[in-house]
């Protein structure tokens, strides 16, 4: 159970899609419950792309948002129906999702002695909506306490999360993984613009990235994505005199993005605070064979690559050091090739969707053991 599902693009949604398709291809029965994007409830069939095995996707009617939380009043009844109908072994809830956490506290078939085991994938603490985070903390804490196990994407998140502090004895690190294609089929040239890919929001550090590009006259940048800062970024590009070197590309479909990734010199992930907990776009870049320049954040971001082997890490918010990293990759084409090639090898060894499922399924099986169920 998550917030949204593809084609809605976001980190949690990408993980949920890869998890669902990977489990289906591995032969498991899967049903997914998320919020829809309008006031109609929609049921869809989803399939594993390799085997064609199908599962069920239920998009619960939504009536707007409040602080990024979809308002889905029918979510409770849908969860009751799905658990009673399917009698699942495991219900896996993806957080942050305050409404789902609150619903789990209500009476339902999930509380029966023969009910499903509760697993939680904790993607991030609620940090940006500080007051809202405090208000919903009791719901989240209750869900985490009830969980037989909690998984996270990176060791840093397991060790530093405030919300996870009381349940650290139940945490398993399961690195994210994505589907290899189309990225692994690309033939990277690494001679085009630098690439930013993501939502145009404050914590992504785009203003600082533009300042770094201004300091490196040879640098060009393509910004792919949409978000509330688009107008502000357009003005900043104009004010800095970067119209000929920086392009606001907007949203791209998969094929268009693959073509741009193939030519990109490197991906830049300049996020400035711990709201960036992993940076899945790093995996797409590594699979494509291009280098990554990322902020050295105390989150999963800094655990994805190996500094100076697959990526360059720079201090968060430091435009000067980011400019130095951009310049290094412009001047040293051999370094670009070396970092990109090593990044692809690291992706294939540890961050594919298949590897994520290979790590996750034994964890599920452990939660289903009598000892684990007694603890929950």
Residues 6 or more apart in contact with residue 188 via CB below 8 angstroms = 261, 262, 263, 264, 288, 289, 290, 340
37-53 tens-digit pLDDT: 888 899 999 999 999 99
pLDDT for 355 beyond 60: yes
Claim: this prediction has a pTM higher than 0.95: no
Residue 302 CB neighbours (<10 A): 17
Q: Are 304 and 278 in contact (CB under 8 A)?
A: yes
What is the full DSSP assignment across 337-348?
A: HHHHHHHHHHHH
Query: Minimal CA–CA distance to 282: which of 223, 192, 346, 331?
Result: 346
> Quick one: how far is CA 207 from the chain centroid?
22
pLDDT at 376: 43
> Which fold, 11-178+354-375?
Rossmann fold (3.40.50)
Q: Which two tokens stand for residue 270?
A: 């300049």
286-344 tens-digit pLDDT: 999 999 999 999 999 999 999 999 999 999 999 999 999 999 999 999 999 999 999 99
CATH number 3.40.50.2000 given to 183-351: yes
pLDDT for 132 beyond 80: no
What is the full DSSP assignment across 259-313?
A: HHHHH-S-EEE---STT-S--THHHHHHHHT--EEEE--TTTHHHHS-BTTTEEE
Residue with tokens 């693959």: 258
Specify the range with the lowest mean pLDDT, choosing from 50-59, 126-135, 213-222, 230-239.
Answer: 126-135
Where along the chain do its domains lie? Answer: 11-178+354-375, 183-351
Q: State the sign of the Cα–Cα–Cα–Cα dihedral 85, 88, 94, 98.
A: positive
Q: Examine domains 11-178+354-375 and 183-351 and report if their fold is the same.
A: yes
Distance CA 278, CA 122 (A): 12
What is the rounded average pLDDT of the residues 44-65?
A: 92
């Amino acid at each position: 159970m998550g917030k949204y599902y593809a084609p809605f693009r976001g980190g949690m949604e990408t993980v949920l899609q890869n998890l669902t398709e990977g489990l289906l291809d591995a032969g498991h029965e899967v049903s997914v419950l998320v919020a829809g994007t309008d006031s109609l409830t929609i049921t869809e069939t989803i399939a594993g792309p390799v085997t064609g095995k199908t599962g069920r996707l239920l998009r619960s009617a939504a009536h707007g948002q409040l602080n990024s939380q979809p308002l889905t009043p029918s979510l409770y009844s849908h969860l009751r129906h799905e658990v009673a109908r399917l009698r699942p072994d495991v219900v896996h809830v993806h957080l942050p999702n305050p409404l789902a956490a609150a619903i789990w506290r209500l009476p339902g078939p999930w509380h029966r002695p023969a009910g499903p085991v509760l697993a939680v994938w904790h993607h991030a603490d609620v940090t940006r909506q500080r007051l809202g985070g405090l208000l919903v903390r009791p719901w989240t804490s209750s869900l985490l306490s009830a969980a037989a196990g909690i998984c996270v994407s990176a060791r840093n998140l397991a060790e530093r999360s405030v919300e996870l502090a009381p349940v650290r004895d139940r945490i398993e690190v399961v690195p994210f993984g994505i589907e290899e294609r189309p990225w692994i089929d690309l033939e990277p040239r690494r001679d085009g613009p630098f690439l930013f890919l993501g939502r145009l929001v404050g914590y992504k550090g785009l203003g600082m990235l533009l300042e770094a590009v201004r300091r490196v006259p040879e640098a060009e940048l393509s910004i792919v994505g949409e978000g509330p800062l688009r107008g502000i970024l357009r003005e900043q590009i104009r004010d800095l005199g970067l119209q000929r070197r920086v392009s606001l590309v907007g949203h791209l479909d998969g094929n268009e993005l693959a073509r741009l990734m193939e030519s990109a010199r490197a991906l830049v992930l300049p996020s400035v605070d711990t709201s960036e907990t992993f940076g899945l776009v790093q995996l797409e870049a590594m699979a494509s064979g291009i280098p990554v320049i990322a902020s050295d954040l105390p989150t999963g971001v800094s655990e994805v690559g190996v500094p100076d082997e697959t990526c360059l890490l720079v201090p968060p918010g430091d435009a000067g050091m980011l400019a130095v990293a951009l310049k290094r990759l412009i001047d040293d084409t051999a370094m670009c090739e070396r970092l990109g090639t090593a990044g692809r090898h690291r992706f294939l060894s540890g961050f594919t969707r298949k590897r994520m499922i290979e790590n996750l399924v034994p964890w599920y099986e452990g939660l289903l053991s009598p000892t684990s169920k007694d603890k929950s």
